[in-house]
Amino acid sequence: MRKLLLTFRKISLWNRILLFSGFGLISTAVFAPVLPLADPNGQDLESSLYPPAFLSGGSIKHLLGTDLLGRDVLSRLIFGTRLTVVIAVSAVVLGAVFGSVLGVIAGFKGGKIDSLISRITEAQLALPFILLAISFIVARGQSLGTLIFVLALVGWAQYVRIIRAETLAIREKGFVLGLRVSGCSDFRIIFQHIVPNIFGTILSLATLEVGTMILAESALSFLGIGVPPPGVSWGSDLASGKDFITMAWWLVTFPGISIVLTVLFVNTAGDSLRSHFDSRKRIF
C-alpha cells in the first residue's frame, strides 16, 4: 500500500488529472447500469424530442433532452461509453497482436518471408478503410464481432512496418548475433530478447490507435453498418439525429461532443504513456 502511495506522489499533477479522469470514465462505463439513469432504450413516445432541461420545453427528467422515440439523451451518452471502449480496445488488441507478430516474423526472418509480408502489408494499406469495412459487413451481416474484426483488419498494417524495423535493429545488435552463433533457438531469442524491447513501442502505437478506432467505429455506425441495435453507439445516434437537425440540435451536438472528448482524452493519455515509456526505452 505504501509503495503505491509513493509511486503516486511521483506522478505529475497533469498525469494525476488524466489518471482520475480515466478512472472516472471507466467506472461510469462499468457502473452505468446501476446509476440512476433512464433506460437508454426505453421509448416514451409522449416525451418525444424534448429539448435539454435548461431550455424552454425541457424537463428535469431528461437533462439533455430526448430523441424521436423519447429515449433519454444523457443516458444514451453514458451507456454509449461502454460499447465504444470495449469495441475500440478489443479491435486495437486484436490488430496489434496480429500486426506485431507479422512484424517480428518479417524483421527476424528476413529474405523472402519478409518481402512477402511487406508486400501484403503495403497492399492492405492501399485499400480504403471504410470501403473495405463496408464490403465485409455487407457480405457477412452486421454484428458486434464482425465490427471488431473489421476494425482490427483496418489497423493491423500500421504495426507491421514499425515493429519490423525495430526487430531488424535489435537483430543486428551484437549480442543477438552472439546468441545465434552459440546455438540459441530462434524462439527463445524472440521471446526473451526481442519482445520485451518492442513491447513499449507496441504500447505506444496501440494507444494512438484507440482514438482512431473510436472515430472509425463512430463513422461506421453513422453509415448504418456499425453497432447493431439495441446497442447504443454515439455514431448511430448521430445518424438518426441528423434528420432532425433543424428542430432538435441537441441530438446531433451532444453525441459528437462525447466522441471528441473521449478521443481527446485517449490521445492525451496515450501521449503521457508514450513519453513515460520513451524515457526508459532500452531495457535489454
Partner 1 sequence: MKFFRYTLKKLGGALITLVLAASLAFFISHLAGDPTVQMLGMSATPEQIAELKAELGFDRPLVVQYGSFINELAHADLGQSLYAGESNFALIQSRIWASIQLTMVAMVLGVVLGIPLGVYAAAREGRLADRVISSLAILGQSIPVFWLGLMLVLLFSITLNWLPAGLSGDWKNLVLPAVTLATIPLARVSRLTRAAMSNTLEDQFITAARARGLGNKRVLFVHALKNASLPVVTLIGMQMGILLSGAITVETVFAWPGLGSLATQAVRNQDLTLVQALVVYGAFLFVIINLFVELLYGVLDPRIRDARQQ
Which positions lie near partner 1, rule CB under 8 A? Answer: 119-120, 122-132, 134-141, 146, 153, 211, 215, 218-219, 222-225, 235, 238, 242, 245-246, 249, 252-253, 255-256, 259-260, 263-264, 267
What minimum distance in Å lies between the beta carbon of 261 and partner 1?
Answer: 9
What minimum distance in Å lies between the beta carbon of 211 and partner 1?
Answer: 7
113 or 138: CB nearest partner 1: 138
122 or 186: CB nearest partner 1: 122
78 or 248: CB nearest partner 1: 248
Residues 57/5, Cβ–Cβ less than 8 Å: no
Residues 248/51, Cβ–Cβ less than 8 Å: yes
122 or 172: CB nearest partner 1: 122
51 or 170: CB nearest partner 1: 51
What minimum distance in Å lies between the beta carbon of 217 and partner 1?
Answer: 10
What minimum distance in Å lies between the beta carbon of 235 and partner 1?
Answer: 8
For residues 46 and 284, give the distance between their C-alpha atoms in angstroms, rounded to a whole number: 65
How far separated are the first and last CA of the chain, in Å rounded?
A: 29
105 or 263: CB nearest partner 1: 263
What minimum distance in Å lies between the beta carbon of 184 and partner 1?
Answer: 34
What minimum distance in Å lies between the beta carbon of 150 and partner 1?
Answer: 9
